[in-house]
Structure 1
Amino acid sequence: MLNAIEVILICLVAQAALTDLAMRKIPNVLILSGLLLALILHLLSGPPWAPLSHWLAGTMAGFFLFLPLYLLRGMAAGDVKLMAMVGAFLGPWAALQIAVVSSLMGGVIALLMLLVTGRWRQIWRNLVQICQPLLLRLSGVPLLPVPLEPAASVGGIPYGVAIACGTVSVVVLNHC
């Protein structure tokens, strides 16, 4: 049976997913209220410092797991903050599990969106543009250094949905 912390977290990530689908952003007020609520629930659930350190470790783990993707412009800041909130509720180990599952689900969502929108041709052109100099260099063709022109984006995905699905999956599987 799910405990109160997990039920509240599932409600919060469901709201984040719906907002991400509708508006393509995750509101800061949702993230901040979730972080505060997680802290309060942890403080009420045990000795004073143990829950606080669990909350802080989970928050930092969730944040730093997706920060590189944000820095590489592969993810929006709201998604990174949402993962930090998830870590605040469940701790660092669960944050790592959820990040892995969310990444897999995000890949599936991205492939489905490419197929549905018909942008798979553009992604193929982008991959060829990125890989062509490498393949030519590997085959022995001397190349002058030429900066790559930025490839046309094929669009982003509502990653809040992937994080919500990953969170629900890990929470439910931990109870089976």
Structure 2
Amino acid sequence: MFLPMFLILAVLLMIACWQDFHDYRIKNNLIVTGTVLGIALNTFLFVETGFLDSLIGLGFGLLLLLPFYLLRIMGAGDAKLLAMIGAFVGQNDILWVFLYTLVAGGLLALVFSLWHGKLRRMIDNVMLTCLPVLSTSKSECFKDNPSFSAEASQSAGKLPYAIAITAGTGFFLAMKHFQ
């Protein structure tokens, strides 16, 4: 990635992290500004991606996190932030950014749940989420397990996911640069 593009993206992501950490919201004007900048820089500088590749990256970025938004696992700002990143990195790299983001998000959730003393609740929620994949009912799995929390369906807390998106993006771009 061209250094000025990387720096612009880094500044936008830092602002998004700050907004998400303080308000649990990422403002639309930041997302729109970043998206326009990503598409414009890719269109006029022709560094690695062009206009069409940038638009496809934008669409893929949105589609990758849209199911998480629809399931109310994360906010719309998170999905739009990944779409904005797609406008910068293009269609070839947005899937990798997404995968690195998921890993960073898991680690961040672990750290936040430990920090707030809600690790057990988070583990119970993960187990409840995975149960539909199994053909066993909840009552059969946990009838003899006294450690399973009856409050597992309660949230373990909010997570400023822009931090995970930023970490995943930064780690991917660093790995790509040093290859």
Match of 1:28 in 2: 28
Greater alpha carbon shift after TM alignment, 10-19 vs 149-158? 149-158
How much does 1:100 deviate? 0.5
Q: Which runs of 5+ in 1 are unaligned?
A: 138-148
Whose radius of gyration is greater, 1 or 2? Answer: 1
User: Contact between 2:34 and 2:84, CA under 8 Å: does it hold in 1?
Assistant: yes
Change (3 A) 1:125 1:23: same
Give the Cα–Cα distance (whole angstroms) in 2 for the partners of residues 129 and 102 of structure 1. Answer: 23
* TM-score w.r.t. length of structure 2: 0.81
Deviation of the 1:112 alpha carbon: 0.9
1:153 is aligned to 155
The residue type paired with residue 136 of structure 1 is E
Q: Which residue of 2 aligns with 1:4?
A: 4
Secondary structure of the residue aligned to 1:153 is: coil
DSSP 3-state at the match of 1:157: coil
1:100–1:125 CA distance, 2 compared to 1 (3 A): closer
Report the aligned-residue RMSD: 2.6
2:86 paired residue number? 87
AA at the equivalent of 2:81: L
**Match of 2:112, as an amino acid?**
M
Which residue matches 2:169? Answer: 167
Say whether the 8 Å CA contact 2:17–2:162 is kept in structure 1.
yes
Identity, % of aligned positions: 33
2:37 corresponds to: 37
SS at match of 1:152: coil
- Checking the alignment, whether the CA contact within 8 Å between 1:2 and 1:175 is kept in structure 2 is no
Corresponding residue number in structure 1 for 2:147: none
For residues 3 and 126 of structure 2, what CA distance do their matches in structure 1 show?
Answer: 45
Shift of 1:166: 1.0
> Residues 8, 126 of structure 1: CA spacing in aligned structure 2 closer, same or farther, 3 A cutoff?
closer
Alpha-carbon distance, 1:43 to partner = 2.1
Q: Which runs of 5+ in 2 are unaligned?
A: 142-150
Count of aligned pairs between the two proteins: 164
**Tell me, what secondary structure is at the counterpart of 1:16?**
helix
Contact 1:60 / 1:87 at 8 angstroms: preserved in 2?
yes
Q: Give the structure 1 partner of residue 107 of structure 2.
A: 108
